[in-house]
Amino acid sequence: MADTIVTSDQSSTSSLNPARIICHVCQKQFSQYTCPRCNSRYCSLPCYKSHSLRCTESFMKENVVQELQQMQPNEQTKQKMLAILKRFHSEEEMDSMDEDSFEDSALSEETMEKIMSGQEISFDDLSLEEKKQFQRAIASGELSKMIKPWDPWWSKLSAREIRLSKEGTQLVQTLAEQELENETESNESSEIPLGPEVPLPPLSRLSSKEPSPLLTVHLVDILYSYCFTLRLYNGDWRSDPIGSVMVVLSVSSVLGQGGQPEIVLEALTHCLEQVCSPAYRHMGGLQFGLGVIDDVINLLSLGSPAIVCALRDMRRLIQEGEKEVKSEKPKKSRRDEISSIKQAERKIYFIMCWVHEQPDEVLSSLAAIVTAQKTSAMEFQGSNKPEKPNNKAESRGKCLIEEIE
């Protein structure tokens, strides 16, 4: 600027020189400088900046461009610039992804107000878009990461220390039942269920007939439905008593369909077919179903006291579900459900009394049989029913009278 600004030669010698020119900008003082682009006369820097915006901007631009043209960037400078551009581009992508995820997970103001006020939110309270987002989260497994895995009570060391009286009742009851119900849901699901409070009657008092030899097979079927239901509800069947009962009845052929499986493989095959059905396939399919067989083996290995406690807990599940059905559904539509639920409860009570009278050797042998049949159950999983004899006469039973032509 100092080289290009032109000053008057007479400014310092003659202050009264009539040839001096007034500033073209402020029109108040004598001009001392000349713009190098438009030759306009001005008196100071503020007047220079305001005399012509287009003139000053173009002048600065030309200077900058000229300076940049003189600069010759080396390879190191180019690499630094590329790194800066890449980092800027990746940050923009991350910001856009965060915005998209926020939009996908955003709840409506009404739902947020309910959550902030401490109200419970059910699936029906969600909007159509929120329901779709919730279902997508379930399908992708995102929600399962937020739930703490349940540790089954039969896998704990304390489960091996369960002891019952000769009558089948709890020996030591540290908490009253009412106090136990008032505990938090997390504590309830992790606690070992208590044994019966009332002495179990002998089987001879319940039935005049000898117990069926198939009760061992039926026990496997019932325990499987119990373990699967607790796994499905993460140990907390109390959160949905009706749903829990429906799961038990759908998985167990003995309780839900009046089935009479004759071998362990037949009982396991039916249970695996139900677990692999579309209704429960989201739990993990065959692999999950085989894991539930391991749960049954663990329960049988614990002996009679632990199994009695499990069946007592299962009976309580059935009773709570029956109460909910009676209170929610109309009388006419609930008759069939209540009848099937009551029948299932009676079967559970009968087999609980039977288990109480069995020595541990019987139950440990049954655990060994289930272990041996676990591999065979995988082969039968694809069929709807276990293989049946090819001989038609065997499938129909023995022929008492043979027709002679």
- Which has the higher per-residue pLDDT, 285 or 182? 285
Q: Is residue 401 in a domain? A: no
- 167 and 40 housed in the same domain: no
Element (H, E) at 85: helix 75-105
- 333 and 298 housed in the same domain: yes
Task: Report the candidate in 22, 20, 53, 25 with the shortest Cα–Cα distance to residue 37.
Answer: 53
- 118 and 52 housed in the same domain: no
Amino acid 71: pLDDT: 56
- 203 and 117 housed in the same domain: no
Amino acid 64: pLDDT: 58
Q: Is residue 381 in a domain? A: yes
What are the tokens at 219?
A: 């026990």
- 210 and 187 housed in the same domain: yes
Q: Is residue 404 in a domain? A: no
Crossing angle for the helix pair 360-380 and 264-275, to the nearest 10 degrees: 50
Cα within 13 Å of Cα(225), Cβ side: 30
What would the pLDDT profile of 190-212 be if each residue is shown by its tens digit? 478 888 888 899 888 888 888 88
**Residue numbers of the domain that contains 140:** 75-146
Q: How far apart are CA 214 and CA 204, in angstroms?
A: 17
The band of 69, judged by pLDDT with boundaries at 50, 70 and 90, is: low
Amino acid 350: pLDDT: 93
Q: Is residue 400 in a domain? A: no
The mean-pLDDT minimum among 109-123, 203-217, 286-300, 337-351 falls in 109-123
- 234 and 262 housed in the same domain: yes
- 258 and 343 housed in the same domain: yes
**At residue 395, does pLDDT exceed 80?**
no
- 89 and 29 housed in the same domain: no
- 217 and 332 housed in the same domain: yes
Which residues lie below 8 Å from residue 4, measured CB to CB, with a gap of 6+? Answer: 36
- 44 and 81 housed in the same domain: no
- 239 and 287 housed in the same domain: yes
As a three-state string, the secondary structure of 125-163 is: HCCHHHHHHHHHHHHHCCHHHHCCCCCCHHHCHHHHHCC
- Which has the higher per-residue pLDDT, 16 or 167? 167
Amino acid 246: pLDDT: 92
Number of domains in the chain: 3
- 253 and 384 housed in the same domain: yes
Mean pLDDT (whole number) for 359-388: 73
Q: What percent of the chain has pLDDT over 90?
A: 21
Strand partners, 34: 41
Which pTM does this prediction carry? 0.59
Give the count of beta carbons closer than 10 Å to the beta carbon of residue 83. Answer: 10
Q: Is residue 173 in a domain? A: yes
Mean pLDDT (whole number) for 111-127: 71
Q: Is residue 403 in a domain? A: no
- Which has the higher per-residue pLDDT, 123 or 164? 164
Contact 303, 163 (CB under 8 A): no
**Which CATH number goes with the domain that contains 32?**
3.30.60
Amino acid 325: pLDDT: 84
Q: Which of 92, 117, 146 is the last residue of a domain?
A: 146
Which residues lie below 8 Å from residue 55, measured CB to CB, with a gap of 6+? Answer: 35, 37, 38, 40
Q: Is residue 41 in a domain? A: yes
Amino acid 377: pLDDT: 61
Amino acid 286: pLDDT: 83
Phi, psi dihedrals of residue 197, rounded to the nearest 5°: -90, -25
Q: How far apart are CA 99 and CA 106, in angstroms?
A: 10
Mean pLDDT (whole number) for 117-134: 74
What would the pLDDT profile of 305-316 be if each residue is shown by its tens digit? 999 999 999 999
Q: What percent of the chain has pLDDT over 70?
A: 63
